[in-house]
Structure 1
Amino acid sequence: MAHGYISPKGALEMEDVGNNICDELVLRSLLQYDSRDADEKTLIMHDLVRDLAQSIMENKIPGVQVQRANVSSASDHSKIRELNLSGTQIRTLPDSLCRLWNLQVLNLDDCEKLEALPKKTRDLINLRHLFLEDCESLTEMPSKIGELTSLRTLSQFIVGRNRGNRLEELQCLKLGGKLTIRHLERVENLMDAKKANLAEKENLLHLNLQWESDNDAPTLEEKESEEKVFEALEPHPNLEILWVWGFNGRHFPDWMSNSTLEKLVDVHISSCKNFLHLPQLGELPHLKYLWVTTAEEVEYIIEDPLISVRQFPSLKTLYLWSLPNLKGFLKEQVTNKSVEAFSNLEELRIEDCSSLKVVPSSLKKLKKLKCTSSNLALLSNLENLTKLDMYFEESTSVETKYAVTTETLRSQTNLKILNISNADELSLPEQGLRALKSLTNLYIVNCNSLPRVWFVHFTALEELGIYGCPEVVELPQEIKNLNNCLKTVILSDLPHMVCVPKALQHVSDSLQYLYLFGLPQLRSLPGWLGDLRCLEDLSIHDCLKIASIPDSIRGMTKLRYLSVQEFPELERRCEREKGEDWHKIAHIAHLQIGEWIP
């Protein structure tokens, strides 16, 4: 349940009353905020209430019954208030739907094949919430949807060119929550954009603006037109999330650099190929997440601070992808002003930014870095990393891999999680690995070999994942160095692995979780599997040549979870009470045989 749509102008609407009730229920410990939601927006049943409910159900107290309303059995469909069709494969909705005059909630989220809404949708005069998230096949909105003046949620609006489905239909709608506006390239009249009246929509928290033109070479007139439209779409200062996709202009609107949008916490700028400079977002006091992708002309993140020398004070995550001309985070004249920037940055992702060679030394709180081999030199300034993702580009020379990696890894004594893609023995030479004494998680992706040296120095390794490595058929014997620490092994998408690696017998004193996914040549499960006396969880998915479960599994008393999926023959043999292998696995407490049903 989203929280925080209270109108400051006095009149209490249905959502306002609901929010007040939620506040009261939180105070009375009947509801609580979900601890997994970092922004504290989601309310769930309080632990005490849930425990009481479970206790009641488990004891089956006489007279307590749970009944479900069956909408389809209602004799008067005009009484229907909510209709949930989310995730269905429906292409069109019947016109009769518009006779549900009292319908207040229509949920069509994830209806990927839905092509159109009923033409008379405007007859649903009591509709308050229309959810259209991920309805990518929708091509236009029904005419005069702006007449639904009770509407408070419209998660997607598609701009049309005809009167009745233009952007001005949003003018009188008091929308809140999230709004995605698609096909903004269709806006021909600047006044139409102004009439959308986004600046007055005080409950709108998430705005997603999308231009979807196929024109790769817009004229100067077209660029200027999009700039004016974008300027006219200024949102209310209450906005928290802004996503911009496909904008063809050269300059972002002035309001994006305006500190009045001080509640912004998340900004995404994607596929805006023609803009020359990023908006000055560093003044925004609460901005936590910034994503910039496919910006070919941008050279710096900060060019000239307007007011404060403290830039991006709250930013935690920065993602930069496909910025080929990005030279640095701060322009040279800015660094001369002693600007304090990115002081709270924790996660940095840099991909396809070949001109970037250095990051600010002020990134003292940075814990996670993802980068390609062309950016590995960035690590020389970073000493507090706990997670590193490295992708080695094929164009990187062996000499560069060896030299850069050796020097940069030597300082990463705190590193705990390492993801390696497209690496080889020279990519991670022994001199650079010796410092990684704290490494607990190693994931190897698309590598043709597993050099033994990798398993010599990682004496604290707890989890090993190997994915998409076509030449890997066995694990090095040096894995025995990990016998007292290695708990989890994941082997996935290894097309030539014929046998479960015998080297795993060397970690029988510590291995607790073994996952075998997508091993098409794996012929059988070995009898020595029973020697893995600490194994608690065994998952086997998409290993079609395995014919049966070994007898030794009956002696694995600590095995509590077994999952067998995506190969019918073994699923049949493991069928409860009936399968030939059922007696071997009947002692396992938690079984998942066949298709996973969440």
Structure 2
Amino acid sequence: MLVKMWIADGFISGDDSSSCTSMEETARGYLNDLLARSLLQPVQDGDKTYYVVHEQIHSMIRSVSASYFRMIQPNYCAAAKIPHTVRHLSVTTGCVARLKKLSLLKRLRTFILLRDPDPSAVVTAIDEDLLKELEGVRVLDFTGTDIEHVPSEIGNLIHLRCLALPQTVQAFPEEFSKLFHLQTLIRSESKYDQTDEVHYHTGLDVAFTLNARNRTSLRQLKRMNSLRGSLIITGLSLVASKEDAQKAQLNSKKSVRVLTLEWEAKQFATESFLEYMWEAMASQARRPTSATDLEVLEGLQPYTGLQMLHIKGYRGISSPSWLLNNCLSQLTHLHITNCRNWNDLPRFGDLPLLNHLEITDLESVTEIDGCGPFKSLETLVLSDMTSLEEWWTAARATDSGGLFTALKKIEIFNCPILKLPPPFPPTLELLRICNCPELRDKVRKRYRGVPQPILDVDFLMW
């Protein structure tokens, strides 16, 4: 987010021919410089990394930049005097009302609404008069609010380059198409459902979820061929045909690196739940589920340069041709989850760059074709596959037989009848097996004498 803001505010130097990608690389270089000088310090919280500034450094920075940057918090809301030279303003939602009386909004380049610790100060709607004042803003961040709609006045912010919205937003106005300079639209989860007349912009860098609740939703993606980053499409159980799926033209999204295809729609507002269920039942009555789901997945063929693919809740029994033919030559991560009818998996071994393979809750699979070199695979996870009997290869052997030259980690959970597992190569560093009684004695016998620093066999999980 910081990198996007730097670019939008013009802090990253570059001529008109500079691409956003190269500018991002430059900005990340600046970020690394700040880290190297300890002006920023990384803090790990679970799987997320945050960056903090030391209190004394922060105090100094706020002091020397007070005439240009300003942050208004509840304790200072009443007494704060904001100079007219301020161009970048962060304010808690409880102090928004005070801003309406100020003329400095017209001069702002960055406006960020932070969530107020007082629950009564939650903002559920943006004041239209306030939005009209922000005529020169380039960065607009409303993620600290609970707004459901974006006012039509958003179309007047012709200089806007970076827009961050909360997951509560349900719809955009048609005026959104006037934001010709918009580069980045950030949304953690999207529920928007709009008309086909909305136009998108060639430089848009989007991280959001599109809910495919009707044909129009997928058609909206047609013109978004310069999407970068991650794209999540949910609700695919309601897509009626391969033709409807092809309208998204995913194979033209050359800069999308992470793609998630999910058949079951995510959370809806309570008032729309019955509507969704009615649509779902009607959709199922119209067509044979597994056959049409395969056609839909076939029509969602991604660009060959895709790096990470997640398939969730797919109800077909077969693999799409673009996965069988290994068209995804740049794929590094593949996650297949909760596809309980899928019993004919593709041959994964020929994906040259595949680094992480995770197959979870595919209860119809009895065997996996493990042929192929698996030259880059480092992590393999098989979980909750109650019918899986073997990892099949052309010539079974006690060793890796030339397979898995890079494999370091194998996790096998809840595969109770698995008798022939993937080969365990010499490169293996971590082996975890749980609730696989057929494998228990075989693996214990083979690795009981192996020193723990060389191979961590997690027998405690049996």
1:168 to 189, 214, 219: 219
CA displacement at 1:245 relative to structure 2: 0.8
Q: Residues 532-589 of structure 1: CA distance to partner in whole angstroms, max 9, x if unpaired?
A: xxxxxxxxxxxxxxxxxxxxxxxxxxxxxxxxxxxxxxxxxxxxxxxxxxxxxxxxxx
Q: Do the aligned partners of residues 374 and 195 (structure 1) sit closer, same or farther apart at CA in structure 2, a change above 3 Å counting?
A: closer
- Whether 2:307 is the aligned partner of 1:240: answer yes
> How does the TM-score come out when normalised to structure 1?
0.53
SS at match of 2:388: coil
Question: Equivalents in 1 of 2:39, 2:387: separation in Å?
Answer: 54
Task: Tell me what 1:335 maps to.
Answer: 396
Task: Tell me the distance in 2 between the aligned counterparts of 1:237 and 1:244.
Answer: 16
Distance 2:39 2:365 in 1: 52
Separation in structure 1 between the aligned mates of residue 457 and residue 348 of structure 2, nearest angstrom: 31
CA deviations on 1:103-147 (whole Å, 9 max, x unpaired) are 222223xx4544444464334343222222245xx2x42223750
Matched residues in 2 for 1:273 and 1:170: separation? 28
Provide structure 1 residue ranges, at least 5 long, that are not aligned to the other structure: 4-10, 33-43, 383-406, 422-426, 428-598
**Comparing both chains, which one has the higher relative contact order based on Cα–Cα distances under 8 Å and sequence gaps of 6 or more?**
2
Out of 76, 81, 84, the residue aligned to residue 141 of structure 2 is 84
CA RMSD of aligned residues (A): 3.9
- Is the contact between residue 272 and residue 295 of structure 1 (CA under 8 Å) also seen in structure 2? yes
2:417 and 2:457 map into 1 onto residues whose CA distance is 26
- SS class of match (1:290): strand
Asked if 2 retains the 8 angstrom alpha-carbon contact of 1:359 and 1:378, the reply is no
Q: Which amino acid aligns with 1:351?
A: F
- Residue number in structure 2 paired with 1:289: 356
SS at match of 1:122: helix
1:346-365 → structure 2 map (5 Å cutoff):
346-365=408-427
Aligned pairs, number: 362
Q: Does 1:272 align with 2:339?
A: yes
Question: Partner of 1:102 in structure 2?
Answer: 159
* Deviation by residue 1:157-216 (Cα, 9 ceiling, x = unmatched): 222326xx3312211212111111111222224333223222122111111111117679
For residue 480 of structure 1, what is the aligned residue in structure 2?
A: none
1:298 aligns with 2:365: yes
| Cα distance in 2, alignment partners of residues 58 and 187 from structure 1 | 51
Assess, with a 3 A threshold, how the Cα gap between structure 1 residues 217 and 374 changes in structure 2: closer, same or farther. Answer: farther
Unpaired runs of 5+ residues, structure 2, are 5-15, 41-52, 71-87, 91-98, 107-132, 266-279
Aligned to 2:233: 181
Q: 2: CA distance between counterparts of 1:152 and 1:320?
A: 37
Q: TM-score, normalised by structure 2?
A: 0.66
1:324 maps onto 2:386 in alignment: yes
Rg larger in structure: 1
Larger displacement relative to structure 2 (176-185 or 210-219) = 210-219
The partner residue of 1:207 within 239, 259, 266 is: 259
What CA distance in whole angstroms lies between the structure 2 residues aligned with 1:379 and 1:277?
29
Amino acid at match of 1:364: P
Shift of the 185–373 alpha-carbon distance from structure 1 to 2, 3 Å rule, reads closer
CA change 1:82–1:281 in 2 (3 A) is same
SS at match of 2:257: strand
Taking the aligned partners of 2:284 and 2:198, their CA distance within structure 1 comes to 34
Tell me the equivalent position of 2:319.
252
Partner residue in 2 for 1:443: none
Counterparts in 2 of 1:54 and 1:250: CA distance versus 1, 3 Å = closer
Change (3 A) 1:352 1:55: closer
| Equivalent position amino acid for 1:70 in 2 | L
- When residues 151 and 378 of structure 1 are mapped into structure 2, their CA distance, relative to the original with a 3 A threshold, is farther
Counterpart position of 1:15? 20
Q: Is the 8 A contact 1:175 1:203 kept in 2?
A: yes
For 2:168 and 2:348, locate their aligned partners in 1 and report how far apart those are by CA, in whole Å. Answer: 37
Counterpart for residue 452 of structure 2: 414
Equivalent residue in structure 2 for 1:130, among 185, 188, 209:
185
Amino acid of the structure 2 residue aligned with 1:187: V
Task: Say which SS state the counterpart of residue 79 (structure 1) adopts.
Answer: coil
Shift in alpha-carbon separation, 1:339–1:418, aligned structure 2, 3 A: closer
1:74 corresponds to which of 76, 97, 105: 105
Summarize the Cα distance change of 1:85–1:130 in structure 2 as closer, same or farther, 3 Å threshold: same
8 A Cα contact 1:146 1:170, kept in partner = no
Change (3 A) 1:340 1:146: farther
Measure the CA separation in 2 of the matches of 1:321 and 1:341.
Answer: 21
Which is worse superposed, 294-303 or 247-256? 294-303
Aligned partner of 1:47 in structure 2 is 36
**Which secondary structure does the structure 1 equivalent of 2:219 belong to?**
helix
